[in-house]
Amino acid sequence: MIRADLLITDCRLATMREGGQVYGAIDDGAVLIAGGRIVWAGPRTDLPQHDAAQTDRLDGRWVTPGLIDCHTHLVFGGDRSGEFEQRLGGATYEEIARAGGGIVSSVAATRAASGDDLYASALTRLAGLVATGVTTVEIKSGYGLDHDSELKMLRVARRIGREAGVRVRTSYLGLHAVPPEHRADRAAYVDKAVDEILPAAHAEGLVDAVDAYCEPIAFTTDEVGRLFEKARSLGLPVKLHADQLSDGGGAALAAKYSALSADHVEHTGEAGVRAMAEAGVVAVLLPGAFLMLRETQVPPVDLLRGHGVAMAVATDCNPGTSPVASMTAALNLACVQFRLTPEEALAGATRVAASALGLSAETGTIEPGKAADLAVWDIERPAELCYWLGKPLLARRYLAGMER
């Protein structure tokens, strides 16, 4: 006899387990939940003897794992709609950044904002993610670029995880851009970011992973290597913004440090893909940034498939290059722009995204032992999650077995 808090029944399950049916589908399924975790999931005809305190009948709706947005910059001050207009007028991302715009233009607004202000504005963006089925979100720092402001951002991210009805994983992104006050002495900033800010954030329990932006307009492989060595000494996993604008060896660097993920990877060549495959690094595809920057170099999806590199999909929600606050929009763009199949895209926002955050044992599939983070959809087939743009599809959402 299984004692459960909740039985979910009369539903179709896209378990997203590997192998077996497409989407790991179970046509007439049921899920038993106790203590916030799945204790049984399978065909309703195989439902074991149980005593459930509550039963939710879903009228044949589809249930997936709660979606996971594994790459966001959700916490920031201000916006950069003016730069959007500049890019529409022909300016490139690099030109705007070198002229003092881009990331550093968000720094002043973020530094000036209070923690409460940052929290309130982040919730407006989070609402879009939650409405599209997200139950876990990664949130980066990187718009503070000084000790107090970086820690302020990370504290806000932790507060979101405590109060806003989602699981949150934080990433320290101190090497995002060189702040204006250090433009004449970038080495001094790298020292501060590596040797002062990261240890302080880690000591306060604010960091789940360490990230960096490795590009000619940002930081070199040597500078990022220093940061990753420090992360390794603190026992923290790493991830990397890699090869977005050029093949600068970012994917290979991520592989060298056994990174959880290499993100963007539009310009990654075969050597970098091979290195990722050997190291088990997830490729996180960010089609929103590709769209907004009007890029033409798509990620090497065929190479990634051929070498067995798992592909995640995320919004990259940020003020400059991907003001995208819809996970289903990201799924659509991944299919339309990068030619992922709907099953690949949905796996990329569930099972693979969990791996990109080091959460494979916790979430990402519907199976016993996992957190009962579930999304219930008004659809007739899972491909609709990648098909519709703007149509409300979410019927309900469970976080740790509680409807939220």
Q: What CATH number does residue 291 fall under?
A: 3.20.20.140
Same domain, 247 and 389: no
Same domain, 302 and 225: yes
Same domain, 343 and 377: no
Please tell me which residue, 100 or 48, carries the higher pLDDT value: 48
54 annotated to bind ligand: no
- Kind and range of the H or E element at 385? helix 384-387
73 annotated to bind ligand: yes
Given a contact cutoff of 8 angstroms between Cβ atoms, the answer to whether 394 and 80 are in contact is no
Residue 249 clears pLDDT 90, i.e. is over it: yes
Place of tokens 């003020």: 319
Residue 97 clears pLDDT 80, i.e. is over it: no
In this structure, is the dihedral angle defined by the CA atoms of residues 386, 389, 392 and 398, taken in order, positive or negative? Answer: positive
Q: List, in sequence order, every residue forming a beta bridge with 261; answer none if it has no partner.
A: 239, 282
Same domain, 98 and 197: yes
Give the residue ranges of DSSP H helices in 244-374: 250-256, 270-279, 287-292, 301-306, 327-338, 342-348, 351-356
Report the predicted TM-score, pTM, of the whole model to 2 decimal places. Answer: 0.97
Q: What's the total number of domains in the chain?
A: 2
Same domain, 350 and 369: no
Give the pLDDT confidence score for residue 235 in this predicted structure.
98
Same domain, 234 and 320: yes
Joined together, the tokens standing for residue 362 give 């916790």
- The CATH number of the domain where 51 resides is what? 2.30.40.10
182 annotated to bind ligand: no
332 annotated to bind ligand: no
202 annotated to bind ligand: no
- Kind and range of the H or E element at 12? strand 6-14
Same domain, 158 and 144: yes
CA distance 331 to 110: 29
Q: Which amino acid is at 267?
A: H
Q: Where does the pLDDT of residue 394 fall: very low under 50, low under 70, confident under 90, or very high at 90 and above? A: very high
Give the residue ranges of DSSP H helices in 46-163: 81-88, 93-98, 103-112, 115-131, 147-163
143-163 confidence digits (pLDDT tens): 999 999 999 999 999 999 999
CA distance 13 to 26: 5
Over residues 235-251, the mean pLDDT reads 97
Q: Is 178 left (phi over 0), alpha (psi -120 to 50) or beta?
A: beta
Same domain, 178 and 78: yes
Q: Count of alpha carbons within 13 Å of 233, Cβ hemisphere only?
A: 11
Strands 67-69 and 25-34: unpaired
Q: List, in sequence order, every residue forming a beta bridge with 396; answer none if it has no partner.
A: 376
Joined together, the tokens standing for residue 66 give 């709660």
365 annotated to bind ligand: no
Same domain, 379 and 270: no
Of 364, 363, 264, nearest to 315 by C-alpha is 264
Residue 257 clears pLDDT 90, i.e. is over it: yes
* Average pLDDT, rounded, for the chain: 96
222 annotated to bind ligand: no
244 annotated to bind ligand: yes
CA distance 210 to 225: 12
51 annotated to bind ligand: no
What angle is formed at CA 177 by the lines to CA 257 and CA 219, rounded to 5 degrees?
40
Same domain, 205 and 289: yes
39-94 confidence digits (pLDDT tens): 999 999 999 999 999 999 999 999 999 999 999 999 999 999 888 888 889 888 77
- Cα separations (Å) of 385 from 79, 154, 163, 260? 28, 31, 27, 26
Residue 248 clears pLDDT 90, i.e. is over it: yes
Same domain, 191 and 299: yes
Contacts of 88 (CB under 8 A, 6+ apart): none
Question: What's the domain range around 22?
Answer: 2-65+365-403
